[in-house]
Amino acid sequence: MLTNCNQSAEGDDKKSEYKALPASTEFDLVILNGRVIDPETAFDAVRNVGILDGRIALITEESISGKETVDATGKIVAPGFIDTHFHFQTPIGYSLGLRDGLTSSMDFEMGCAGSYIAPWYEARAGVTQANYGVAVSHELARAMFIDGSDGADYLINGPIAAYTTRAKKGWSQTRPNLEQGNAILQEIDKGLQSGAVGVGSTVGYMRAGVSSREMFEVQKVGARYGRATGAHTRYTLGNDTEENNGAQELIANAVALGAPANVEHFNNPGWRLAHEMIIRLQEQGHNIWGEIYPYAAGSTTINAEFLRPEIWIDKMGKRYEDTMLDPVTNEYYTLETYKATVASEPTRPIVIFKMPADDEWKWLTLKGVTMGSDAVGATPYLAPWDFPMDSLGGTHPRTAGSRGATIRLGREHKIPMMQLMSILSYNAAKHLGDTGLKFMQERGRIQTGMVADIVVFDPETFRDNSTYDKGAVPSTGMKAVIVNGQVTVRDDVLLPVFAGQPIRFEPQDKPRFEPISVESWNATFSTGMPSDFSGGVPVPDLDHPESDKH
């Protein structure tokens, strides 16, 4: 088996036109004597890797040399880690990610408002250490056209904007009228036209406001570009039936539309069924995948709909005293302090315990999943890249340690390294590459011709250090993190190297938006019917009928 794989990894790769360079080449960088792991070809052997002009130029048993050397003896040499669920898209956020082996970070859930996609990318060009990408935001489009939250100063920050926009309520609870609904969809289309990696939806925070029709139409906007919609699905957090019903909505829409979809953090009640549906659909050729992260607790803002006492206590049978932790003060909430904080500081971040700790490692064994960290902010959110990490505010430990935790848990539970490298890098690259994203077709692999995003780490010691008490402590045991051929972390030290590239589709000349109307629906799906029916368009807000006059 290894013989076949060796050939594939060492230059016979049919997908690549790239010809491996001779061992006599003077490389820019060489990584010597490491255990090279390529999840796509299942290659796993000790080799030397030569890098030239930002690409993997040779993988060989011969001795090679270059201007710079990383001694990888006893270390794993694997594709740089890729995360489709990284909200902390700021200089210090990328710093924490890089210490944890993250070379490509995307926010596929909250995302960035459509009109701000282009400036979001421009703001990071040439000054960012990891590769960066963002989906266009469903929630922020609703905040703009329902709540009037349209401040350029916060919307430019993408996911961080939610700490501002979530202080209002319409984005979550109000059904748009037809005019607002079309404005929301058009805003999403704008972001895709500007090259966003896909559509991000937090429908689970907008259960009352987003009709099933709206969710379908949002995914349809993405489908016109062939891009994935990622979602915090409708009933997360919910029980083991509701959770799967939420995943089923996203998945069924995707199948009906022929569109890709990413079922986010399904490591919740009912996860085995969600996973089985995803795998069966993959076997039928659908580009649908799922994310997990290895923590029993989640994190969100305290005003999240599913944490209201009617749901959290009455329906889910939980107590704030056991489940809701303030990561800054390290104190658990009570019903009284919960109510007081929702009133005084509605977007305060909290940590919420929801699953048995013994499930954490089991999620890492699932076939074909991706590890999406759901890294959230730590204050000060907009700190510079070299801000002292021990001065950062409290946050969920997944922000700094998801990849270290994955490898530590894998070590403790004897999960094969090939599986861990697949879920940390290749699987996300594969599914995103299959949506046409060229950037991801040439990453997530250690093969000649691929872009040199590489991690070199000690399989015995690399680990997370972040905890629920202290969430922003960086991981350790990383020999080197290489971004686009540049050594950016060496021996657990982050260097002043800014080689990050945009993860983005080519901006398009024309929009693809098509406004929805009863008339066009009838013309397409009916042989003729009166226009007074419901279910074809967003339902008017019956609590505010005046908002429907347009």
Distance CA 221, CA 514 (A): 9
* Token pair recorded at residue 208: 């009352």
Query: CA 104 to CA 392: how far, in whole Å?
Result: 22
Least distance CB 373 / Zn ion (angstroms): 11
3-class state of residue 401 by DSSP = helix
String marking each residue 125-144 x if it binds Zn ion according to CB under 5 A: --------------------
The DSSP output letter for 44 is E
Residue 537 and residue 214: Cα distance in Å, rounded?
A: 8
Our CB check for Zn ion shows the closer of 99 and 232 to be: 232
Residue 109 beta carbon to Zn ion: minimum distance, rounded to whole angstroms: 5
Residues of this chain, 315-334, that bind Zn ion according to CB under 5 A: none
Sign of CA dihedral 196, 202, 203, 208: negative
In the complex with Zn ion, which residue's Cβ is closer, 55 or 232? 232
User: What type of residue is 464?
Assistant: D
Two tokens, residue 206? 């907008």
Size of the site for Zn ion (CB under 5 A): 1
| Partners of 476 in the β-ladder | 463
Q: What is the pattern of x (binds Zn ion, CB under 5 A) and - over residues 181-220?
A: ----------------------------------------
- Shortest CB 265 distance to Zn ion, Å: 6
Residue 487 · residue 495 · CB < 8 Å: yes
| Residue (232 or 403) nearer to Zn ion, CB | 232
Under rule CB under 5 A, which residues in 214-233 are in contact with Zn ion?
232
Cα separation values, 184 from 113, 136, 171, 395, Å: 10, 11, 11, 31
Choice between 162 and 473, CB closer to Zn ion: 162
**Nearest distance from C-beta of residue 469 to Zn ion, angstroms:** 23
Nearer to Zn ion, 181 or 270 (CB): 270
Q: How far is the CB of 204 from Zn ion (least distance, A)?
A: 7
CB of 208 to Zn ion, least distance (A): 17
Residue type, 187: E
What is the closest distance, in whole angstroms, from the C-beta atom of residue 398 to Zn ion in the complex? 11
- Find the shortest distance in angstroms from Cβ 537 to Zn ion: 28
Question: Which residue, among 299, 303, 311, has the nearest Cα to 169 in the 3D structure?
Answer: 303
Q: Sign of the C-alpha dihedral, residues 159, 129, 55, 419?
A: negative
Which residue, 231 or 400, is less far from Zn ion as judged by CB?
A: 231
Instruction: Centre a 10 Å sphere on the Cβ of residue 341 and count the other Cβ atoms it contains.
Output: 17
Check binding of 234 to Zn ion (CB under 5 A).
no
Measuring CA to CA, which residue among 212, 274, 200 is closest to residue 243?
274
Amino acid at 378: A
**Cβ nearer to Zn ion, comparing 232 with 408:** 232
478 three-class SS: strand
CB of 233 to Zn ion, least distance (A): 9
Which of 326, 324, 291, 290 lies closest to 309 in space, CA to CA? 324
The residue at minimum Cβ distance from Zn ion is 232
* Nearest residue (CB) to Zn ion, 47 versus 398: 398
List residues bridging with 104 in a β-sheet: 82, 131
Dist CA 280 CA 275 (whole Å): 9
Which amino acid, one-letter code, is at 156?
I
Closest CA to 105 of 440, 487, 390: 440
Closest distance of CB 301 from Zn ion, Å: 11
In whole angstroms, how close is the CB of 264 to Zn ion at the nearest point?
6
Nearer to Zn ion, 115 or 219 (CB): 219
Shortest CB 203 distance to Zn ion, Å: 10
> Which residue number, 102 or 162, has a Cβ lying nearer to Zn ion?
162
Residue closer to Zn ion by CB (options 41, 105) is 105
Cβ proximity to Zn ion: between 410 and 471 the closer is 471
Residue 155 · residue 116 · CB < 8 Å: yes
Q: For residue 468, give the amino acid letter.
A: Y
Residue number with CB closer to Zn ion (142 or 232): 232
Spatial contact of 251 and 277, defined as CB atoms under 8 Å apart: yes
Residue 472 CB neighbour total at 10 angstroms: 26
Closest separation between CB of residue 152 and Zn ion, Å?
25
CB half-sphere exposure, 240, CA atoms < 13 A? 7
Of 434, 441, 284, 430, the residue nearest 370 (C-alpha)? 430
| Binding positions for Zn ion, rule: CB under 5 A | 232
